[in-house]
């Protein structure tokens, strides 16, 4: 399966993260929250203007902007 970025997910989609390309401070923050390889992420909310989207990760709902979510790639699960 071809990996897709988190930002392309639709509400209800689930993926398993396989790459986190984010750099700098945000990378550390994402790690602390649990956005790391092998983690299942579900897109649960999309804000009224389509960006940001919110993702369910390790029991918490975290919103990310399009640019930031685009740096995280994953493979779709069924």
Partner 1 sequence: MICGKIVLAGNPNVGKSTVFNALTGMKQHTGNWSGKTVGSAEGSLRRKGKEIRLIDLPGTYSLITDSAEEEVTMDYLCFEKFDGALVVCDACCLERNLIFAIQVAQLVPKTLLCVNMLDDARKKGIKIDIEALSKETGLPAVGISAANGEGLDELEKALFRLIEEPSPEFVPVRYPKALEKAIKGLAPTVKNEYGFDSVYPVLRILENDHGFASAAGKRFIKSEKMALERKKLVSELAENGILEEQIADKIAACAVFRAEEICLSAVTVSMDKTHSKDEKIDSVLTGRFLGIPVMLLLFGFIFWLTVSGANYPSALLSAAFEKVGTWLESAFVSIGMPAVLKSLLIDGVWNVLSWVVAVMLPPMAIFFPLFTILEDIGYLPRVAFNLDRGFKSAGACGKQALTMCMGLGCGAVGVTGARIIDSPRERLIAVITNSFMPCNGRLPAIITLIAIFFSGSSLLGAVILTGVVAFSVLITLAVSKILSKTVLKGVPAGFTLELPPYRMPKFGKVIVRSVFDRTVKILARAVIVAVPAGVIIWLCSNFAFGGKTLLEIFSSLLDPFARLFGLDGNILCGFILSFPANEIALPIMAMGYSGGELAELGSMAETAGLFAANGFTNITAVCTIIFFLFHWPCATTLITIRKETGSFKWTFLSVAVPLITGLSLCFCVNIISKLFL
User: Where on the chain is the footprint of partner 1 (CB under 8 A)?
Assistant: 22, 24-26, 28-34, 36-39, 44-52, 54, 56-65, 67-68
Nearest distance from C-beta of residue 38 to partner 1, angstroms = 8
Nearest distance from C-beta of residue 2 to partner 1, angstroms = 23
Q: 65 has which bridge partners?
A: none
Q: 28 has which bridge partners?
A: none
Instruction: Give 2 or 32: the residue with its C-beta nearer to partner 1.
Output: 32
Instruction: Give 16 or 36: the residue with its C-beta nearer to partner 1.
Output: 36
Instruction: Give 2 or 12: the residue with its C-beta nearer to partner 1.
Output: 12
DSSP assignments along 12-48, one per residue:
T-EEEEEEE---HHHHHHHHHHT--TT-EEEEEEE-T
Nearest distance from C-beta of residue 27 to partner 1, angstroms = 8
- Cα–chain center distance at 22: 11
């Amino acid at each position: 399966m071809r990996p897709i970025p988190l930002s392309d997910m639709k509400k209800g989609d689930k993926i398993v993260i396989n790459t986190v390309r984010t750099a700098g401070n945000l990378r550390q923050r994402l790690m602390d929250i649990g956005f790391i390889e092998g983690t299942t992420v579900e897109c649960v909310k999309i804000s009224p203007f389509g960006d940001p989207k919110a993702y369910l990760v390790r029991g918490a709902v975290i919103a990310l902007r399009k640019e930031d979510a685009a740096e995280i790639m994953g493979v779709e699960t069924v």
